[in-house]
Structure 1
Amino acid sequence: MPFTTTVITGATSGIGKETAMALAKKDHAVYMLVRDMERGEELRQEIIAVTKNKNVYVLKCDLADMASVRDAAGVLKASLMAVNILINNAGGIFAERHESKDGYEMTFAVNHLSHFLLVNNLLPLLQKGQARIINVSSEAHRMAKPNFNDLQWLKRPYSAWKAYGTAKLFNIYFTRSLAIKYGPKGISAFALHPGLVNTGFGTGLTGIGKTLMWLARPFMISAESGAQTSIYLASAARIDAKSGKYFKNRHVASPSAQATDELGRNRLWDLSMEMIKPFTDQ
């Protein structure tokens, strides 16, 4: 692959950091969208020191604030001719129901809707770059209980794991929709499960969720290992024929039967498009 421009969210820790470092070593120009600019700048300096690649940049982007996502996309469009790789890596699980700045349930906003907006606002650059869009999902999608009449968890008791699993299912829906809608325009899209990674994920959980994470700790893999599928999808040659697929351990895997629900996938797209309208350039 010639000079490659890569944009990644959630790069300041965990698998995002390992992915950004690895791709900088492969001479990608790496644009890290971060909430904490101080941490982002520290990481930028670290990556440059380790890789000797000076084409590493940090942009402010708070995924819990749709205007911030819109503004970050605007900066990229003003700065770049094309984007070749977009890695929607950031995510989170929240013990209690919180709302984003725009009033959306936080799990839904951070794991799905913000990335949906980012992709839609970057479409001109993604099409010019014949881009690969890589969405970090999870095997937690198998716990999903989507209710399209209550995406914001207002009408039922909030469950951290069900909300998270549903958002990760939505990552797979989004991937498949992108492959179908924009494949003819040269864009490919992939979803992946990084593995059960030993990072700060889930540290805010309480009760049974906290206990489950503690029990799983001895079986977790390193962030470096967890980043390998993202790195593979961002750098491997000749994988565009597998666009729309779900990956584990750098291989195509079968998601849940629910992940193939075309009606649910299309409904998510339509609802998401309606939600992002105030923040799009169209």
Structure 2
Amino acid sequence: MPRTIVITGASDGIGAAAARRLVRHGHQVVLVGRSAEKTAAVADELGVPSFVADFAELAQVRRLAEELLGACPRIDVLANNAGGIMGDRTLTVDGYEKTFQVNHLAPFLLTELLMPALVAGRATVIQTASRAAQVFSRFDVDDLQNAERYAPHRAYGNGKLANILFTEELQRRYGDQGISAVAFHPGVVATGFAGDTTHVLRRIYHGRLKRLFTVSPERGADQLVWLAEGTPGETFAPGAYYEHRRITTGVRRKADPGAARELWERSAAMV
């Protein structure tokens, strides 16, 4: 049965690759991207609607939510796929550390604002997380702004762990209203990721090492498509984090047991 699927970060990479597959499968896909030109190009190629928003500005996220609610009173799948690693520590116009806002706070706000349409569709809410949550994070709920010992890779790892914690808490709070939250690691994907940083990860994604360590966007999109088309409780377990279509639990030890609830409450206060 065709589903209405909203994908953020859909102007390139795994977001665009997933959109192409899902459109071929007959679903009604809605694209969200940061670049108006790139997003329009993919939308025109696929013949689907698109919206533009920069997650580094929460006012744009609020406008995006209004536009999406007007266009989609029922959403079956929300794929919070936008995110990235940054360079030097900078604050957004909203006063929050950019990595934290783009990877967690903006999708948190978008999900909350879209909740009427998500509940109406008994939606699956997908977070594109990363194994970086386990490898790089030093998560401290008292330092969500990454003010202490900032490093691009650590801030990114913290943001991806926040995606996983958000998934857990979203399921706990809204599961009884039909919401099914899930997070996944797409692999190290050959995209424009890390293009805005001077971190060593830029060399892996854009240098000579690229072919050795990365997979194609099409392969990286596999789990996103699998989850978007899946049945909660059958295809995947709501509230879980997946790698290679298998539940992975080790990353959860990177945060205190109560971190998911505390992160939610502090995020809600921020927005």
Equivalent-residue separation in structure 2 for 1:24 and 1:116 (angstroms): 26
Establish whether residue 4 from structure 1 lines up as the match of residue 3 from structure 2: yes
What root-mean-square deviation, in Å, do the aligned CA atoms of Structure 1 and Structure 2 show? Answer: 1.7
Q: Is the 8 A contact 1:131 1:188 kept in 2?
A: yes
> Matched residue pairs, number?
267
Structure 2 unaligned segments of length 5 or more: list them.
none
After TM superposition, the score normalised by the length of structure 2 is 0.93
> 1:167-246 residue pairs with structure 2 within 5 A?
167-206=159-198, 208-211=200-203, 214=207, 217=210, 218-239=212-233, 242-246=237-241
**Match of residue 118, structure 1, among 85, 110, 113:** 110
In structure 1, the residue corresponding to 2:143 is in which secondary structure? coil
Give CA-to-partner distance per residue, 1:48-71, whole Å, 9 cap, x none.
Answer: 3xxxxxxx1111221111111111
Letter paired with 2:151: S
Cα drift, residue 19 of structure 1: 0.8
Cα drift, residue 216 of structure 1: 5.0
Establish whether residue 44 from structure 1 lines up as the match of residue 38 from structure 2: no
Q: Is the 8 A contact 1:37 1:58 kept in 2?
A: no
> 1:119-138 residue pairs with structure 2 within 5 A?
119-138=111-130
Equivalent-residue separation in structure 1 for 2:9 and 2:17 (angstroms): 11
Q: Is the 8 A contact 1:84 1:131 kept in 2?
A: yes
Cα drift, residue 259 of structure 1: 5.1
Taking a change above 3 Å as real, the CA distance of residues 238 and 121 of structure 1, as seen in their structure-2 partners, is closer
Q: Is the 8 A contact 2:5 2:29 kept in 1?
A: yes
Letter paired with 1:147: D
Cα drift, residue 76 of structure 1: 1.6
Letter paired with 1:132: T
In structure 2, the residue corresponding to 1:99 is in which secondary structure? coil
Equivalent-residue separation in structure 1 for 2:232 and 2:146 (angstroms): 41
> 1:91-170 residue pairs with structure 2 within 5 A?
91-142=83-134, 143-154=136-147, 156-170=148-162
In structure 2, the residue corresponding to 1:269 is in which secondary structure? helix
> Aligned residues: percent identity?
36
Cα drift, residue 98 of structure 1: 1.7
Q: Is the 8 A contact 2:14 2:217 kept in 1?
A: yes
Runs of 4 or more, structure 1, over 3 Å off, are: 207-216, 237-241
After TM superposition, the score normalised by the length of structure 1 is 0.89
Taking a change above 3 Å as real, the CA distance of residues 60 and 211 of structure 1, as seen in their structure-2 partners, is closer
Equivalent-residue separation in structure 1 for 2:199 and 2:26 (angstroms): 44
Establish whether residue 269 from structure 1 lines up as the match of residue 264 from structure 2: yes
Cα drift, residue 10 of structure 1: 0.3
Q: Is the 8 A contact 1:9 1:89 kept in 2?
A: yes
> 1:76-87 residue pairs with structure 2 within 5 A?
76-87=68-79
Matched with 1:16 is 15
